[in-house]
Amino acid sequence: MRLLATITTMLLFLFLVACSTQRAEIIYVDTIADPPDDMIDNPFFSPSQLPFEAPDFDDIRNDDYLPAFEEGMRQELQEIDAIVSNPAAPTFENTLVALERSGQLLTRVERVFFNMTSAHTNEAIQEIQSELAPRLAAHSDNIYLNSELFDRIDTLYENRDNLNLDGDSYQLLVDTHRDFVRAGARLSEEEQTRMREINERVSSLTTEFQEKLLAMTRERAVIVDDVDLLEGLSSDRIAAAGEAAEDRGHSGSYLLNITNTTRQPVLESLDNREMRQRVWEASAFRGTGEDGGIDTRPIVLELVALRSEQAELLGYPNFASYALEPQTAHNPDRVLDMLTNLIPAVIVNTEDEAADIRDLMSEDGIEDDLQPWDWEYYAEKVRQERYDLDDDEVRPYFELNRVLEDGVFYTMERLYGITFEERHDLPVYHPDVRVFNVFDEDGEQLGLFYADYFERDSKRGGAWMSSFVTQTRLLNQKPVIVNVLNIPPPATGEPALISFRNVTTLFHEMGHAVHGLFSDVNYPSQAGTAVPRDFVEFPSTFEEDWAIHPEVLANYAVHYETGEPIPDELLERIIAAREFNQGFDTYEYLGATMIDMEWHLLESDEIPSEVTGFENQSLEKYNLDHPAVPPRYKSTYFAHIFSGGYAANYYAYIWSEILAADAFAFMREQGGLTRENGDHYRNTILSRGGSREAMDLYHDFRGQEPDVDHLLRRRGLDTGD
């Protein structure tokens, strides 16, 4: 069964259920009517003939998407009708297995299309997305609110302990039943009608929010006419800014793109304070309608109201309670307890960092209050002074391809025995995209890995992993995984020298990638990253720490011109500097997390009339209202919660980091970077997907509950009290 778990985000990650039998195959094959004539040549009509069913981007055109979606929905509803019309009593095979096999055409087109909406969109794709949003929401409701279908699932669920199911199948039955109930299967007819209306509207709004975010990237880009205002940037970054301006029709100027977060990496380097303020304000005031620009505030308020109503229809006091129920945290109180317990140590560290920054500002003759556009600039100066680190000294040792091959791929081979081999014969959706075969130690190919690393106008901000194909023994499929980042491209002919922050992001996203590549489950609905939101970031965050492992760093940190390895003393300074500015980093993260929680703890009669005031009140409530440390995301451009499926779940990053820090500490105790450690982690966590409860998997790996002290030490927040 395809669980359209994030239908409101239009990412539509699929969850399919059950196991294979001949009876289920007969149900699936014999009940599908002939497709329209114009579908026969559609590239999505049948599985791709490329290796591992990889998408054939040479054949895919924008005009192919909508017909494939329409035929895919038609076919899936026919398959559902065949299940509910089956005169035989419901069994795991004739109900859940049939659900598992439904929707394969729709799955193929969804996985390609929704990657394109994020990684390489255009006006045609956006128009299709806007049209599809309410239709796909309605299609999902036609399945989850099908009373006859739910009756069959409910019958099996009530008799679940007598069905002699194996553990994976039992988990599927429990999860599927829960998902139908949470979708409204037990609501009255009138309530279901309202639920359909809400789902369709939410789907349209989240799509609109995503489209406006992309438009704001262009709208808020900063055009600089005087190169002297860019003093502090390296020559290669200035050259890249000149090319970016040229591409936008601003010949002779320089363009600074705005990244997805409130903070902007370029602020670390710009010497001109007024220029820094201009960049920061371009970022922080996005979506407010300032100067007649794009205004996302009405979308935010309507989404919050609709989600609150949806939760109350289903019997929950608020949307946060609804959203957290299937997560490992289970309820808002546990999340708030964890977060509020962190705040005191974070405030202490942040105030210490602010004091150091104010001292440097005074030395520069700046007597004004510390402002958010000052923080990163002077924090970088403190970092350079304390650790004797200069970005221009460090970046030449982090050339992108070297980091990827001798850092990320090297670590994956040392831990798991896998190797990556680039190939150039498969079609891609953009020239920047690279494709790699992934081989296991015994030479068997695990799947394909696509790497799309450079920012462009057609790509949304941030970094993510998605799948073109997920692993499943049932359907005999192997994974086709893609990692997408937004690294500033180098000027033509120049090497791609990247920040250490982007180095860490490469390792992070590879953690998601191997979670998909190592998947070894029967059911697609349990494959790879089909785990709770507050568990899915654990494997990715865990891989980050290998970026600073001395053996790994020494292998990839090589000067791009001389070939000389990074000096040991510079390595030591880089590692020591990792804990620097963690007060700020954690403070701004917690600010965004509390804004997310406060929006989604509202009841339907508590929705405010404006956005900024509510944000300010939320930050003040938790003593997170430092004027120089704004939240990492403000509501008007908070993609995670208003278009990315993380509503009431942004806490998941730090919740998962608790697991990641504990797991990494445990692995260090067991010998560190060894195959024995990697294989144990792969077998207990990465290969199991959602086939068991997430925390049961962690206990299998660790043998005990995680220790939160490892998180504090990882972030340098252990005050010693």
Is the overall model pTM greater than 0.85, yes or no? yes
Q: Is the dihedral of CA 326, 327, 330, 331 positive or negative?
A: negative
- Higher-confidence residue of 71 and 719: namely 71
Phi, psi torsion values for 477, nearest 5 degrees = -115, 145
Q: Specify the pLDDT at position 504.
A: 95
Confidence of residue 6 (pLDDT cuts 50, 70, 90): very low
Alpha carbon 118 to its chain centroid, in Å, reads 11
Residues with a catalytic annotation lie at: 509
Say if residue 166's pLDDT is above 80.
yes
Q: What would the two tokens of residue 231 be?
A: 């003093």
Question: Contact 113/10 with Cβ under 8 angstroms?
Answer: no
Confidence of residue 7 (pLDDT cuts 50, 70, 90): very low
Confidence of residue 301 (pLDDT cuts 50, 70, 90): very high
Side chain identity at 691, as an amino acid letter?
S
Q: Specify the pLDDT at position 33.
A: 59
Confidence of residue 625 (pLDDT cuts 50, 70, 90): very high
All domains in the chain, ordered by first residue: 7-213 (1.10.1370.40), 220-292 (no CATH), 297-387+581-650 (1.10.1370.10), 398-580 (1.10.1370.40)
Say if residue 16's pLDDT is above 60.
no
pLDDT per residue as tens digits for the range 553-607: 989 999 999 999 988 888 888 888 877 888 999 999 999 999 999 999 999 999 9
Q: State how far the Cα of 240 lies from the Cα of 135, in Å rounded to an integer.
A: 42
When pLDDT is averaged across residues 484-488 and rounded to a whole number, the result is 95
Question: Contact 449/52 with Cβ under 8 angstroms?
Answer: no
Side chain identity at 320, as an amino acid letter?
A
Q: Specify the pLDDT at position 344.
A: 93
Q: Specify the pLDDT at position 720.
A: 52
Phi, psi torsion values for 221, nearest 5 degrees = -60, 140
Cα angle 25, 26, 28 (rounded to 5 degrees) comes to 65
pLDDT per residue as tens digits for the range 152-165: 999 999 999 999 99
Please name the residue that has the structure tokens 């045609």. 124
Say if residue 95's pLDDT is above 90.
yes
Q: Specify the pLDDT at position 718.
A: 60
Mean pLDDT of the chain, nearest integer: 92
Q: Specify the pLDDT at position 388.
A: 81
When pLDDT is averaged across residues 340-351 and rounded to a whole number, the result is 93
Q: State how far the Cα of 93 lies from the Cα of 164, in Å rounded to an integer.
A: 13
Q: Which of 247-256, 389-398, 592-601, 660-669 has the lowest mean pLDDT?
A: 389-398
Q: State how far the Cα of 655 lies from the Cα of 711, in Å rounded to an integer.
A: 10
Q: Specify the pLDDT at position 575.
A: 80
Confidence of residue 32 (pLDDT cuts 50, 70, 90): low
Confidence of residue 461 (pLDDT cuts 50, 70, 90): confident
> Which alpha helices (DSSP H) does 364-445 contain, by range?
372-387, 391-394, 400-403, 409-416
Q: Is the dihedral of CA 640, 641, 647, 650 positive or negative?
A: positive
Alpha carbon 38 to its chain centroid, in Å, reads 35
pLDDT per residue as tens digits for the range 497-556: 998 889 999 999 999 999 999 999 999 999 999 999 999 999 999 999 999 898 999 899
Q: What percent of the chain has pLDDT over 90?
A: 84
Q: Strand pairing of 419-423 and 434-439?
A: antiparallel
Q: What would the two tokens of residue 507 be?
A: 């390792």
Give the C-alpha distances (Å, rounded to integers) separating 683 from 196, 361, 671: 41, 52, 18
Say if residue 10's pLDDT is above 90.
no
Q: Provide the 10 A C-beta neighbour count for residue 590.
A: 24
